């Protein structure tokens, strides 16, 4: 178990502000059985706890054993959320110590199942729920939040949860999960985070018919009514939490792109599905170039899927290729897309606006398999939300014209992955450079063990958020995500690459996040976006801002 350093602030006695049962019921203050005998006497806890005082290490051991005894990942998720509801510090210490084991439980892939069952496993409310009925009163709703120094907000309207579609109010599991990673992976203080569900209804008939559904059992609002609600919400956030970074999460394509374009130059905001996914994917591609000895600008990339994630990835790749010497037109010509209908090409009349810039001149191609044969891409990136699309035929074809075919199956959760690690390695005869959105276990093939990398946005967005908060940046820019990708790529060791892993191990993610935060701050200061004075050592400053999950000593 990794040792957790105790910061000086944890050694100075403070009064919690609550006593007795109120103290035990406050997850931000509660230490459970770790309250010392002296604290129990002073804080009205005598008789309210079992007599033996536990160390934090003992509490973590008890917790991880309880999690492991659960018979399903969903039950493990419920166990972890229950811990978050009663003892925040212990939750983050456990996640930090067992990040490999617990991140797939508190986030992808398990969070997808948790969202689907949200109303049925509901225990205690977390975050804020805002509906059309709060129109005119959104500022009041935000002021009801007990913590006033909010620095990171994650908001969703639940219309495109992972690859699962419209889950309405059930999508609240995503902001809660994302913000837990901001704290666990980058060290944003939990009291500075706020999950928000904009419940604008749902078009999911199953949810509308479910008597236990907790959201608005109405069809989604759209058009001017929707836009007016978003406008009021954004303005309210700026007034009530003026220092907050606002992250849009899991909005459907038709809203995600236009909301990002509308607000990116007005407020401190980004869309993780568009920009965070792009950054972690670009980092993975940088890693592949070290193995293939092929420059990024010389790659040809075929995307399966042409939604917000795919276009976001392509846009960032284009920027990176331009940095390597290509013109923008040449770089865009290196990126091709197959959507749910066919190859995205210039003769099609049914393309949404966000696809049109990548509609290159080409004869119609009906399928992904045919597109692979015709285009002969260097890399195949799956962001379709459709399972098992990378067939044996496709991966074998990729392996015919690439010594080391790049296969990224990025759709989440695991049930939506375009192929598994085992399939990618087996069908490519062990030559694939593979990454996935959800984790796959190590796989042995012909005597070699492959440890595939998880192209998880958790490598990017927590560090970006830490950097933005640490320098009080006024905006979040694409350049920040480019530098985050470059930084992440540099942190992959040769030892990681030798096992087939294109990303650093998750056990190093807090260190990774600090380095990304420093890179983001460098951009903010260079572009005159930072409101805070520039520290001498950006990396040291980022690390000094990281919350440590250790108990305070109570006077």
Domain end position, chosen among 267, 294, 328: 267
Please tell me whether residues 419 and 470 are part of one structural domain.
no
pLDDT above 50 for 413: yes
Measured distance CA(31)–CA(202) in Å, rounded:
39
Residue 318 has pLDDT above 90, yes or no: yes
Model confidence, pTM:
0.94
Q: Angle at Cα 503 formed by Cα 499 and Cα 508, nearest 5°?
A: 105
pLDDT recorded at residue 13: 86
**Same domain membership, residue 261 and residue 191:** yes
Residue-level pLDDT at 7 = 64
Q: How confident is the model at residue 448 (pLDDT cuts 50, 70, 90)?
A: very high
Choosing from 58, 79, 106, the residue where a domain stops is 106
β partners of residue 435 = 408, 453
Note whether 247 and 221 are same-domain residues.
Answer: yes
Tell me, what's the pLDDT at 4?
Answer: 56
Confidence of residue 11 (pLDDT cuts 50, 70, 90): confident
In the chain, the number of structural domains is 4
Q: In the prediction, which pLDDT does 1 show?
A: 47
Q: Is the pLDDT of residue 395 over 70?
A: yes
Which pLDDT value is given to residue 69? Answer: 98
Separation of CA 332 from chain center: 26
Same-domain status, 298 and 440: yes
What tokens does 23 get?
Answer: 């103290």
Q: Is 349 a member of any domain?
A: yes
pLDDT in tens, 414-430: 889 999 999 999 999 99
Same domain, 321 and 451: yes
Rounded CA gap, 220 and 284, in Å?
37
- Based on the domain organization, do 295 and 440 belong to the same domain? yes
Q: Decide if 467 is inside a domain.
A: yes
Question: Same domain, yes or no, for 251 and 281?
Answer: no
For 531-548, the pLDDT digits (tens) are: 999 999 999 999 999 999
| 448 and 311 inside one domain | yes
Contact criterion met (CB below 8 Å) for 335 and 301: yes
Establish if 466 belongs to a structural domain: yes
Whether 536 is in a domain gets the answer no
In a shared domain, residues 244 and 146: yes
The predicted pLDDT at position 143 comes to: 98
Query: What is the percent of the chain where pLDDT is above 90?
Result: 94
pLDDT digits (tens, 9 = 90+) for 354-369: 999 999 999 999 999 9
Last residue of a domain, one of 428, 456, 484: 456
Flag whether 289 is in a domain.
Answer: yes
DSSP letter for 108, please: T
Q: Is residue 552 part of a domain?
A: no
One domain for residues 128 and 248 = yes
Residue 5 pLDDT grade (very low, low, confident, very high; cuts 50, 70, 90): low
Task: Report the alpha-carbon distance of residue 550 to residue 13 in Å, rounded.
Answer: 13
pLDDT band at 555 (very low <50, low <70, confident <90, very high): confident
CATH number assigned to the domain comprising residue 447: 3.40.50.720
Mean pLDDT, the chain, rounded, equals 95
154 bridge partner residues: 195, 247
- Is 506's pLDDT higher than 80? yes
Summarised one tens digit per residue, pLDDT across range 184-207 is 999 999 999 999 999 999 999 999
Give the active site residues: 107, 178
Contact 102, 506 (CB under 8 A): no
- For residue 340, which of 305, 388, 307, 309 has the smallest C-alpha distance? 305
Q: Does residue 439 carry a pLDDT above 50?
A: yes
Decide if pLDDT at 38 tops 70.
Answer: yes
pLDDT tens, position by position, 462-485? 999 999 999 999 999 999 999 999
Residue 371 located in a structural domain = yes
Query: Do residues 324 and 248 share a domain?
Result: no
Give the tens place of pLDDT for each residue, 92-101.
999 999 999 9
Write out pLDDT tens, residues 101-114.
999 999 989 999 99
The enclosing domain of 47 has a CATH number of 1.20.1370.30
Q: What is the pLDDT of residue 163?
A: 84
Tell me whether residue 494 is in a domain.
yes
- Which of helix, strand or coil describes residue 336? strand
pLDDT of residue 8: 58
Instruction: Tell me what pLDDT residue 24 has.
Output: 97
Nearest residue to 76 via CA among 121, 26, 34: 121
Please state, in angstroms and as integers, the Cα–Cα distance from residue 554 to each residue in 10, 17, 19, 28, 451, following that order.
9, 10, 11, 13, 44
Of the two residues 184 and 13, the one the predictor is more confident about is 184
- What is the span of the domain harbouring residue 21? 8-106
469 and 447 in one domain?
Answer: no
Q: Is the confidence at residue 31, as pLDDT, over 90?
A: yes
- CA neighbours closer than 13 Å in the CB half-sphere of residue 330: 12
């Amino acid at each position: 178990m990794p040792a957790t350093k105790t910061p000086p602030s944890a050694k100075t006695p403070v009064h919690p502000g609550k006593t007795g049962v109120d103290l035990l019921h406050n997850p931000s203050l509660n230490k459970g059985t770790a309250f010392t005998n002296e604290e129990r006497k002073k804080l009205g806890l005598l008789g309210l706890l079992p007599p033996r005082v536990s160390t934090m290490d003992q509490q973590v051991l008890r917790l991880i054993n309880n999690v492991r005894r659960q018979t399903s990942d969903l039950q493990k998720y419920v166990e972890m959320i229950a811990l978050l509801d009663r003892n925040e510090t212990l939750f983050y210490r456990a996640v930090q110590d067992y990040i490999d084991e617990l991140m797939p439980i508190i986030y992808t892939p398990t969070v997808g199942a948790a969202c689907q069952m949200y109303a049925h496993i509901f225990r205690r409310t977390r975050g804020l729920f805002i509906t059309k009925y709060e129109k005119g009163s959104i500022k009041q709703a935000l002021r009801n939040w007990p913590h006033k120094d909010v620095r990171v907000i994650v908001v969703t309207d639940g219309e495109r949860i992972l690859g699962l579609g419209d889950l309405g109010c059930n999508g609240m599991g995503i902001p809660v999960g994302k913000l837990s990673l901001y704290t666990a992976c980058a060290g944003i203080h939990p009291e500075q985070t706020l999950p928000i569900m904009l419940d604008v209804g749902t078009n999911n008939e199953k949810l509308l018919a479910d008597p236990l559904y907790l959201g608005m059992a109405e069809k989604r609002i759209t058009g001017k009514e929707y836009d007016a609600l978003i406008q009021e919400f954004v303005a309210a956030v700026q007034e009530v939490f003026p220092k907050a970074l606002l992250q849009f999460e899991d909005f459907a394509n038709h809203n995600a792109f236009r909301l990002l374009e509308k607000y990116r130059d007005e407020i401190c905001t980004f869309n993780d599905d568009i920009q965070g996914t792009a950054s972690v994917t670009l980092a993975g591609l940088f890693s592949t170039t070290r193995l293939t000895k092929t420059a990024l600008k010389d790659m040809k990339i075929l995307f399966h899927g042409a939604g917000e994630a795919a276009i976001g990835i392509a846009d960032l790749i284009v920027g990176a290729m331009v940095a390597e010497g290509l013109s923008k037109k040449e770089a865009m010509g290196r990126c091709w897309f197959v959507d749910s209908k066919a190859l995205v090409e210039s003769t099609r009349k049914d393309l949404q606006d966000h696809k049109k810039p990548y509609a290159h001149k080409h004869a119609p191609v009906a399928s992904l398999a045919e597109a692979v044969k015709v285009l002969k891409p260097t890399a195949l990136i799956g962001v379709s939300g459709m399972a098992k699309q990378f067939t044996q035929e496709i991966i074998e074809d990729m392996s015919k014209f690439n010594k080391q075919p790049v296969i990224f199956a990025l759709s989440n959760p695991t049930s939506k992955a375009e192929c598994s690690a085992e399939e990618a390695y087996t069908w490519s005869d062990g030559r694939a450079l593979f990454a996935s959105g959800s984790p796959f276990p190590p796989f042995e093939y012909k005597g070699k063990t492959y440890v595939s990398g998880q192209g998880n946005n958790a490598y990017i967005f927590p560090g970006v958020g830490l950097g933005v908060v640490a320098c009080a940046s006024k905006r979040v820019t694409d350049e920040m995500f480019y530098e985050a990708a470059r930084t992440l790529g540099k942190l992959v060791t040769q030892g990681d690459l030798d096992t087939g892993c294109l990303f650093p191990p998750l056990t190093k993610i807090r260190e990774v996040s600090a380095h990304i935060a420093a890179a983001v701050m460098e951009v903010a200061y260079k572009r005159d976006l930072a409101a805070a004075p520039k520290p001498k050592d950006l990396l040291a400053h980022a690390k000094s801002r990281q919350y440590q999950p250790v108990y305070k000593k109570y006077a």
